Chain A
Amino acid sequence: MKGMSSLNPQSDNQIPHLFARLLNKLQVAGDTIHTPIEIDEENAQLLFIKSVIDGNQLQNTIIKPFFELASEKRFLQYLDSLPNKIEIVDEETLLVELTRGMLLINVQQRYVLIDIKKVNTDSVQITSLEPTIYGPQGGLSESLETNINLLRQRYAEPSLAVEITTLTDRSKSVLAILYDKEVVDTEVLDTVRKRLGQLNNPLIQSTADLELYLNQEKFALFPSTLLTERPDRIVYNLAGGKVIIMLDGSPQVTMAPAVFFDFMVSMDDHYHNFWTSISTTFLRYAGLFTCTVLPALYVAIISYNPDVIRTELALTVAGSRIGVPYPSYIEVIFMLVFIELLTEASIRLPKAVSATATTVGGLILGTAVVEAALASNIMIIVVSLVAISTFVIPINEMSFSVRATRFFLLLYATLFGLAGVIIGFVGIIMYLANKESFGKPYLKFYWKNRSEEIKGGLKK
C-alpha cells in the first residue's frame, strides 16, 4: 500500500455509511486505514487496521487481482470464492474482527470481510515447564490455529471435535474446546460449556487465568484442571476422554476433568520400560510423601516424641541442636520460608543470574546458618530434602499446592505432635476425596471395568 496518508478528502462523499460509522469508532486506533482502489470506472473501498494485517497477503490476494480482473463484478465473484472470507454478523462483532486483522471491502454496495491477519506468534516453543528425556521436545505455540494444527497432526481422528467461541471479556480472545466425540464424557463437556458461558470476568489473559475462573471455587488449594504445554500429554488426555480448552495467545492449554493422579504422571512414564516407569512412579510418590510429611515429622519427633528414633540418632540430633535458640517449629518455618524464597527468587530472576542466587542462598547462607547456630545440621538436611523432593512432582501447579499443604501439616504437628501428623494427613486425604473436578471425584482410584459400580464413575 502506497497512498497511506489518512482519508482522501475527495472521496469523502463516497464513503458508505457503515464505513463512516466504523471509522468514527476506530478513530482512536491511529493506524486505521480507509482507502479506495480504482481502475477506470471500477472501484472498491478497503478498511483495515494496518498493524494487524499481513501486507503481502493484502497485496497478493486483494489488490493485484483487482487490477488484473479490472471489473467490479468479477472482483466480487473472486472475493466470494476466497476461502478466508468471513460472515458478517453485526456491527459490533465487525469492529472486533477489524481490530483482530480482518479486511473489510466494499464493492458494488456489498460488504465482504476477509481474514488476512498477520500472526507473529505461531512459532512452536520448546517445552520449559515439563521437560522430559524422551518424547517430543517442542511444545505449543501462542497461536490458536497453529496449536489446533499441531494437535490434528498428532491426533488424526475424524471424531476430534473443535468448537470455537469467543470470550466475552475485553480481550475478546478466541477460545477453542477440543474433544474426541466418541470417548468424551458428555456430562463434563456440558459443565465446561456452562461454566464458560457464566464467565463474567473483565479480563482473561491466559489459560492459567481462565482455569482459575473455571474452577468456581473461592478457596481452592489444589488445581482442578490440568495446565500443560506438552502436545503429547494433550493427545494422551484427548484419547482418554477429556475436554481440552485452548485460548488464543497462550502456549498452554487446560483440560478438564483432572484428578489428583493426573498431576503425578510424567509423559516419560509412557516412554520407559515397565519396571523403569514403575520405579520412577514410585519414586515420585515417595517424593510427594516426603515433601509433605517430613517437616511436620521433624517437629513432631524433635519436640514431642524423641523416643521414636534410635538412641544414636536422637543423640546426634540433640547434639546438632546445641545452641539453637529457637524451638524446632520456628526453626523449620524459618528454613522452609527461606527455601521458598530461594525457589521464588530463582523463578523471577533472569536465567543468567538465577544460578548465583541459588549458590549464595543455598550454599553460603546454609552453611552460615549452621555456623551461627540458627538452625541445626539435621534441619538443613531435612529442608534440602524437602526442597528437592518438591521438584519431583511433574506438574508445577501441583507442586505449588503441595508446598502450601505442608505448612498446614506443619501447623498440625506443632500443635498436636506425632498423632497430629497422621490425623492431619488423613484430614488432607479427606479434603481431596471430597473435592470435585467438573463433577468428577478428585481423589479416587479408577480400577479397570469397575467404574460402573459407583454411580457416575469416569468413563475410561
Chain B
Amino acid sequence: MDVRKFVVGLFDDEKVLFPAVKQVRKAGFRIHDVYTPFPIHGLDKVMGLRETSLHTAGFIYGITGTTIALSFMSWVFTSDWPLNIGGKPHLPLPAFVPVTFEFTVLCAAVGMVLTFCYLCQLAPGVKKHHFDARATDDKFVMVIECTSETTEAEATALLNAAGAHEVHTQIAEAGWWFGTYDKEQKLYDESQVKVAH
C-alpha cells in the first residue's frame, strides 16, 4: 500500500501547462506526474525526467539475438550434425545472414516491448488510480504530491495561479493493483496516508 495525498490541477491547453510546470518546479514542489492525452515533446525535459534508456536495452537484446542465432547455426552445421550438401562449405556465412537478421529483429522487438511493459508497469488486468478520466481525452492533468513541506493550501493556490481551471485534492493509491475498471474500488482507509519529506 502506498497511499498518499495529492493536489490535482486540470489544464485545458498545453500552452498553459508548459509555463505552469516550470512555475511549480521553480517553487520547489514535487510533481508526482503530468497525465496527457498525447505525447508532448519537451514536457519530460521541463519536468526534469531523465532520458529513457529503452533504446539501449533494445540494442542489447538485438546483439544477444545476433549472437545466439549465429553461434547456434554454426554449432549445428559444424559440430552437432555436419551435412555434406553438394560439397559446399560447412560454414556458409552468407547463407546465415537472413535467419540471423530476422532473429536479431525478433529479439530486439520482443525484448523492448516486454521491458517497456515492465518499466511502465503495464499488463492485462492491471488497474491504476485515475486522477481524472479526461486525461486520456482532452485534459492535461498535473498532480502535485503533498509532502511535509508542501501543504495542500499552497499547492492549490499555486495551481490556481498557474492557470489550472479546476483544482482539487485526492487521497489515492499511487501504485497499481489487479482489478477491473467497471467499479470504484477503495483499497485503503484514509488514516494510512503517507507523507513524504
Instruction: Indicate, yes or no, whether A interacts with B.
Output: no
Chain B residues near A (Cβ < 8 Å): none
Chain A residues packing against B (C-beta within 8 Å): none
